[in-house]
Structure 1
Amino acid sequence: MSRTLTVHEAGLAVADPRAYADEERLHDALSLLRRESPVHRVEAPGYNPFWVITKHADVMEVERDNKLFLSAPRTLLSTAEVDELQRQQREQGMELRTLVHMDDPQHRVVRAIGADWFRPKAMRAMQERIDELARQYVDRMVELGGECDFVRQVAVHYPLYVILSLLGLPESDFPRMLKLTQELFGGQDEELRRGESAQEQMAALFDFFDYFNALTTARRREPTGDLASAIANARVDGEPLSDVDTASYYVIIATAGHDTTSATIAGGLHALIENPDQLRRLKDDPSLLPLATDEMIRWVTPVKEFMRTASADTEIRGVPIAEGEAVLLSYPSANRDEDVFTDPFRFDVGRDPNKHLAFGFGVHYCLGAALARMEIQALYRELLPRLDSIELAGTPRWTATTFVGGLKHLPVRYTLG
């Protein structure tokens, strides 16, 4: 397919949500850019211009130099219309400001608020609960009678329960959180989005804010020893976080904390179905599970991009980047870079080393990386010994997105012991 794709068309694909729902098209485009234009200027209709960075080494270089390349003000790829809405919200003090939007020194201070909840000691304390939930969802697959949509009936719920339990949210609110997350991350997908206009899509974010503002008030009045209480009562330089920054902290934990993991769990199962030799290999040698988990993460790469803005004139791979210009870091491309990964389009449950960048790199390395790995391993540690057979029962479908996503439907037929 790439033989008929021009470099210009490949660049446009990076800004097309539909390309991320068509893996062949996406990777043809990214492979072409890596070969012929690894630092490529994109001027896509409806978007402000940007440079797309497709090589693993260059993505690492940009992430490493967080003083030259800033997260603000253009953190994610959005349409020019959304960019303008966000500019207006920034002026009004109503802009979403999560950890991924912040730069140092603010980023370092705010990140520390939740860091202890994701350290190894805290993760070990959660292991029993995560293992219990993994058993429940594999048992649920048995109850479903040997056929299910693995995404909708298993993968989206299991990590949701983990992260919202960590926050301390009531189980009765979990369905609402799932719907809001899907609307927020699925704003470019016809099936998942709330509406077609930018205003309608931003409404999901404001619904999050309303919910979490009420939660902040409750936790400040009566702390309950959970992560939500730690965020609500955190102080920076002796002052509590603003309502917007507090709500933003909840949003990034509640959304990124489960949507990315569910995408990896579902995409990992699809990869095992499509590569039965690797499924047999993993079943025969469970000690490979940690390596297989990172291969699933590399293979799916649920976070598709972050953007950085140059704070001074510079260059990448000899290409001049002017102060104020934005660069898009393409993680799916970096994670299939032929210079780093041997046979990168082969799914290999024993891949070692595996220098994927799916969790980012540098100061913005994913806060919940250890938790995500623990959840994925727990589910497959429970599922694989009980799995006698599995096959597709329909056509898998991916989310149209340029930010976070993966499979939105995975119909499977299986026998479980």
Structure 2
Amino acid sequence: MRITVPVPGTPLDLDTVNLFDPELYAHGDPHTVWAQLRRHAPVHRTTLPDGRSFWSVTRYADVNDVLRDHTRFTSSRGTLLSILGNTDPAGGKMMAASDPPVHTALREPMTRVLSHRALQPHNPRIRRVVHRMLAPLLDGGTWNIAHAGARFPMAFTGTLMGLPEEDWPHLAHLTTMAIAPQDDDYRQSEGDGTLAAAHHELFAYFSGQVTRRKRTPTDDLVGFLVGMEAGGRRLRHDEIVYNCYSLLLGANVTTPHAIAATVLALIEHPAEWARWTADPSLTPVALEEGLRWASPANHFMRYVTRDLTLHDRHLREGDAVVAWLGSANRDEEVFADPFRFDVTRRPNRHVAFGFGPHYCIGAPLARIALRMLFDEIVTSVEEFALAGPVEHLTSNFVAGIKSMPLTARLRPDAARVIDTAVTEEGPVAV
């Protein structure tokens, strides 16, 4: 998604704006729309040509309220605009599409195996993945950071889940089909055909993985789900499949696009790059600004459980409500000068990983991987430069960059350090 600075006073007819349209996020100017909505219509209804409709909330406080309060806004009917108007078959089965107590029973055991402490033994592999990802910079040629980033999370998430390495590229492609079915590079057919095809293949794939682990238990994340108890019982086959899908999708949504968007921000704000490289200890703080800036997960949807009033708008039971995270992370009431990229921004209470009970369970893994990657980038790269057009993903769910060719000038000795690390660590796929 293009990140623009809204011009005050820009005329805009909010009744003609279609926040459902994925083209808006690839080629349009959603930040100007959101700024107008935050100011003039913080709860705004969109009705699509086919009669489906949804409410949008764009202010930080309202986004948090919608995501936090499952008693008024349920996740069990679906959480993404891609299934607006339909009942989600994963409702009450997949952690992301359930409410307490089902959600709590699923989340608690999974949180233990995906905590920062539990992931520490995997750090050496993540570091190897980082070095392999940066290795193409050694020849001084063009490096497409978006393509490399798309493969990046599979190299450690695939390992955690125990998925065969030869399957990783296709799985990454399928998850992008699922979140960007209208994108020309991923669309296979008109209408909902691409989304249906991606879901069918991913669910069939994980069904096979689960069946194999039931025959032969494994010490990996899929094996953990097979043996896990939630609410005093083992998960059913379909529940395990849905949650495998959700974990893989979550891994491939945030991390790749946060990488490309953060590097693009540094190219466009060279003074901030200079501040960061002058003080590498800023990395944890700067990464949070990169996540706020990128806001890769663009929205989450809920359904109203009872009639209620929000900012003088009357919402009926069963109405869909969409919380726009990208807008909340630019709310002027919460973030000082929100359209300034600031690697020292404190406080930074962004909602890039969501908010409330559905806060991204994979956030610790994403932060570990991003920190390792940018630790290396900050100490190795003197300057990035664009080497071609930046192409944005056509998706209303993921604010992503699908192509971003770069060149990089490395610091003295950086090439030797990366090359030595790659040679000593041995091969790993990225």
What interval of TM-score do these two structures reach, taking the shorter chain for normalisation?
over 0.9
Matched position secondary structure for 1:412: strand
Find 2:107's aligned residue among 91, 102, 111: 111
In 1, distance between residues paired with 2:92 and 2:397?
15
Offset of 1:189 from its aligned partner? 1.2
Deviations 1:214-243 (A, max 9, x none): 100111211221111001222334543222
Contact 1:183 1:192 in 2 (8 A): yes
Question: What corresponds to 2:174 in structure 1?
Answer: 180
In 1, distance between residues paired with 2:384 and 2:314?
50
Range that drifts further, 252-261 or 229-238: 229-238
Trace 1:119-134 onto structure 2 (pairs within 5 A): 119-134=115-130
Contact 2:387 2:405 in 1 (8 A): yes
TM-score by length of 2: 0.90
Question: What corresponds to 2:260 in structure 1?
Answer: 266
Deviations 1:264-310 (A, max 9, x none): 01111111111111111110011110111111111111111111111
Please tell me the residue identity of whatever aligns with 1:138. Answer: L
- Please say if 1:286 is aligned against 2:286: no
Question: What corresponds to 2:45 in structure 1?
Answer: 41
Contact 2:286 2:345 in 1 (8 A): yes
Offset of 1:244 from its aligned partner? 1.9
- Please say if 1:302 is aligned against 2:301: no
**4+ runs of 1 displaced by more than 6 Å?**
none
Question: What corresponds to 2:426 in structure 1?
Answer: none
Find 2:72's aligned residue among 48, 68, 73: 68
Question: What corresponds to 1:389 in structure 2?
Answer: 383
Contact 2:92 2:102 in 1 (8 A): no
Structure 1, unpaired ranges of 5+: none
Please tell me the residue identity of whatever aligns with 2:235. Answer: L
Q: Quote the sequence identity (%).
A: 34
In 2, distance between residues paired with 1:296 and 1:378?
14
Find 1:324's aligned residue among 314, 318, 321: 318
In 1, distance between residues paired with 2:160 and 2:186?
26
Contact 1:151 1:410 in 2 (8 A): yes
Contact 1:264 1:301 in 2 (8 A): yes
In 2, distance between residues paired with 1:193 and 1:290?
37
Question: What corresponds to 2:141 in structure 1?
Answer: 146
Offset of 1:120 from its aligned partner? 2.3
- Please say if 1:223 is aligned against 2:228: no
Contact 1:184 1:193 in 2 (8 A): no
Deviations 1:314-370 (A, max 9, x none): 122232212111111010100000000000001111111001111111111110111
Contact 1:18 1:401 in 2 (8 A): yes
Matched position secondary structure for 1:156: helix
Across the two proteins, how many residue pairs are aligned to each other?
Answer: 404
Question: What corresponds to 2:368 in structure 1?
Answer: 374
Trace 1:325-364 onto structure 2 (pairs within 5 A): 325-364=319-358
Contact 1:62 1:69 in 2 (8 A): yes
Please tell me the residue identity of whatever aligns with 2:73. Answer: F
Offset of 1:375 from its aligned partner? 0.9
Find 2:31's aligned residue among 19, 27, 48: 27
Question: What corresponds to 2:428 in structure 1?
Answer: none
Trace 1:209-248 onto structure 2 (pairs within 5 A): 209-248=203-242
Question: What corresponds to 2:15 in structure 1?
Answer: 8
In 2, distance between residues paired with 1:34 and 1:237?
40
Mark the CA change 1:200 to 1:385 in structure 2 (over 3 Å): closer, same or farther: closer
Offset of 1:149 from its aligned partner? 1.4
In 2, distance between residues paired with 1:47 and 1:149?
41
Offset of 1:96 from its aligned partner? 9.6
Mark the CA change 1:263 to 1:249 in structure 2 (over 3 Å): closer, same or farther: same
Mark the CA change 1:151 to 1:77 in structure 2 (over 3 Å): closer, same or farther: same
Question: What corresponds to 1:161 in structure 2?
Answer: 155
Please tell me the residue identity of whatever aligns with 1:106. Answer: V
Mark the CA change 1:70 to 1:120 in structure 2 (over 3 Å): closer, same or farther: same
Matched position secondary structure for 2:323: strand
Offset of 1:254 from its aligned partner? 1.1
Please tell me the residue identity of whatever aligns with 2:99. Answer: D
Please tell me the residue identity of whatever aligns with 2:123. Answer: Q
In 1, distance between residues paired with 2:10 and 2:102?
46
Mark the CA change 1:290 to 1:47 in structure 2 (over 3 Å): closer, same or farther: farther
Please tell me the residue identity of whatever aligns with 1:303. Answer: A
Contact 1:189 1:399 in 2 (8 A): yes
